[in-house]
Structure 1
Amino acid sequence: MIIDWNTIDTVLLDMDGTLLDRHFDDHFWLEHVPKRWAARNGTSIDHARTLLHALFKSQEQTLNWTDLDYWSQRLGLDIPRLKREVEHLIAVHPFVVEFLLFLRQHRKNIWLVTNAHSKTLDLKMKTTRIGSYFDGIVSAHQVGLPKEDHRFWEALQKFVSYDPGRTLLGEDSETNLATAEQYGIGYLVYISRFSSAVQPKPSLAFASIEYFSALIPSAGETTVTISKG
């Protein structure tokens, strides 16, 4: 796929796995929460992992998946407090800031569009200090639909006025890229290095990059070329 920045007005960017290292989230939900739940309920960590992983999976592709209040009530744990216990793991991927600076320099409309809950957003924006680079931040909880729902991208127009054909979306979810493709978003980029703890694997369906530096043209150029896996 050839990306000509002269034909792009708006850039929509996911947060977890795309801009931020998903190692924090994977560790939190797959290790830290089961450990705390096991201690609270007097069970083994292995039992807690098995039980909680099934619970988490049952809420995939719904707003509950990222709703911290829902999980606090469901698990009997203070999930926001537990997140703060491991907030030192929150990290921005390499070259993200450079890419955001490039977008601002070229006067693109930059929006953070995420499934994350507002309490997660508050913690991560405070920790990473990248919020000021965006023209705005929209959570799926505001929209009322997760990005996995094909109706999300049209509903997003109530918050962000954008021309789908002149928009680039960066995501670490092939499902979300597929729903965006249905709506007609013109430039779809898969982030294969979503976690520092996982070996990157390019998408076979979408143009893929490991780092956002791949989207910054050389001096004097306006285009870059990226490929599928």
Structure 2
Amino acid sequence: MSDLENKPIVMFDMDGTLLDLAYDDLIWNHKLPEHHAAVHACTLEQSHTTLHSFYEKHKHTLSWYSSSFWTSKVGVDTLALQYDYKKNIQPRPGCFELLEILKQQGYRCWIVTNADCAGLKLKLENVNLSPYFEVMVSSEEIGHAKEFIEFWQILQKIHPFDPKNVVLIDDTAKVLNGAALFGIESLITIRQPSSNKVAKNALELEYPAINDLTELVEILEQHSQIKQQSKKEMNVKTA
């Protein structure tokens, strides 16, 4: 088995993993309520209450991630709002350092995001992630959010991969649960998706957690070593 075959495909979530979720917090929890209150002539408190009920109803569905859905739902052009504050889109700590290392070491990297196609385009226009990824997929293209096993089943049909040779990094436990149900075993989460919020205690999270993305390098090395050892043991048994 070649060194390249030993290397897993590294699948990254985008918002809260590669990019600072503080931007999305700003848009959906601060700026949208302000604009919603102005459009509907209500108080900011009333706007927060209304939007919170909408968010809870649609959380973890494709609609939750759709700019066009929210524009029609709340009467505010949410995509235009995102563009108004695009300067706030920033990479998370260690993002480009890690991607450079993985590129130099020959890893295949994919972005699998729940951001809709318009949101993915916006982020890529403002943070130059594209050169590091061979596949970039929005759940809008798949027709299912990543929280559901159907996303992974369809993704595999479009872009074939072995779930046993994938490392997935995502800040959302429900997404990792869906991937685990599909058969992806190497699952990593993020301690501090948003720089505006306190980092989570790794011991309280469901999955192994990192903060600075460069911490992933050691995990990937361990993954490859385990795979090589497993292959050697298999060869011994069949010899």
Fold match by TM threshold 0.5: yes
Report the Cα offset of residue 6 of structure 1.
Answer: 7.4
1:141 Cα deviation from its structure 2 partner:
0.7
TM-score, normalisation: structure 1: 0.90
> What residue number does 1:227 align with?
none
Displacement after TM superposition at 1:42 (Å)? 0.8
Q: Deviations over 1:126-163 (max 9, x none)?
A: 01111221002101011110011122211111232111
The answer to whether the aligner puts 1:211 opposite 2:219 as a matched pair is no
Query: CA offset at residue 103 of structure 1?
Result: 1.6
The one-letter amino acid paired with 1:207 is: P
Q: How many residues align?
A: 219
* Residue aligning to 1:83: 82
Cα root mean square deviation, aligned: 2.0
Sequence identity (%): 31
The gaps in structure 1 that reach 5 residues or longer are 225-229
Equivalences for residues 48-63 of structure 1 within 5 A: 48-63=47-62
Cα shift readout 1:2-37 (whole Å, capped 9, x = no counterpart): xxx974321110000000000110111011001001
SS at match of 1:101: helix
The alignment partner of 1:195 has SS state of coil
**Aligned twin of 2:72:** 73
Q: Look up the SS of the partner of 1:216 in the other structure.
A: helix
8 Å CA contact 2:146–2:152 kept in 1: the answer is yes
Task: Name the counterpart of 1:187.
Answer: 186
Aligned equivalents of 1:131 and 1:193: distance in 2?
A: 23
Given that 1:6 and 1:222 are in contact with CA atoms closer than 8 Å, whether structure 2 keeps it comes out as: no
Using the alignment, how far apart are the partners of 2:117 and 2:183 within structure 1? 28
- Residues 151-194 of structure 1 show CA distances to partners (whole Å, capped at 9, x for unaligned) of 22111112321110110000000111111111111210011110
Structure 2 counterpart of 1:11: 10
Q: Which residue of 1 aligns with 2:113?
A: 114
CA shift digits 1:11-70 (9 cap, x unpaired): 110000000000110111011001001111111111001101111111111100011111
Give the counterpart letter for 1:176 in structure 2.
Answer: V
Whichever structure has more helix as a proportion of its residues is 2
Q: Is the 8 A contact 1:138 1:159 kept in 2?
A: no
Distance 2:9 2:196 in 1: 31
After TM superposition, list the pairs within 5 Å mapping 1:116-195 onto structure 2. Answer: 116-195=115-194
- Equivalents in 1 of 2:60, 2:216: separation in Å? 28
User: Which structure shows the bigger proportion of residues in strand conformation?
Assistant: 1
SS of equivalent residue, structure 1 residue 190 = strand
Q: Which amino acid aligns with 2:57?
A: S
Matched AA of 1:140: S
The answer to whether the 8 A contact 2:117-2:141 is kept is: no
Q: CA deviation at 1:223?
A: 3.0
Mapped to 2, the partners of 1:76 and 1:158 lie a distance apart of: 37
Deviations for 1:177-219, whole angstroms, at most 9, x for unmatched residues?
A: 111111111210011110101111125321111111111249x
Correspondence for 2:101: 102
1:217 and 1:133 map into 2 onto residues whose CA distance is: 19
1-structure distance, mates of 2:198, 2:5: 33
Partner of 2:149: helix, strand, or coil?
coil
Question: SS where residue 36 of structure 2 aligns?
Answer: helix
| Partner residue in 1 for 2:237 | none
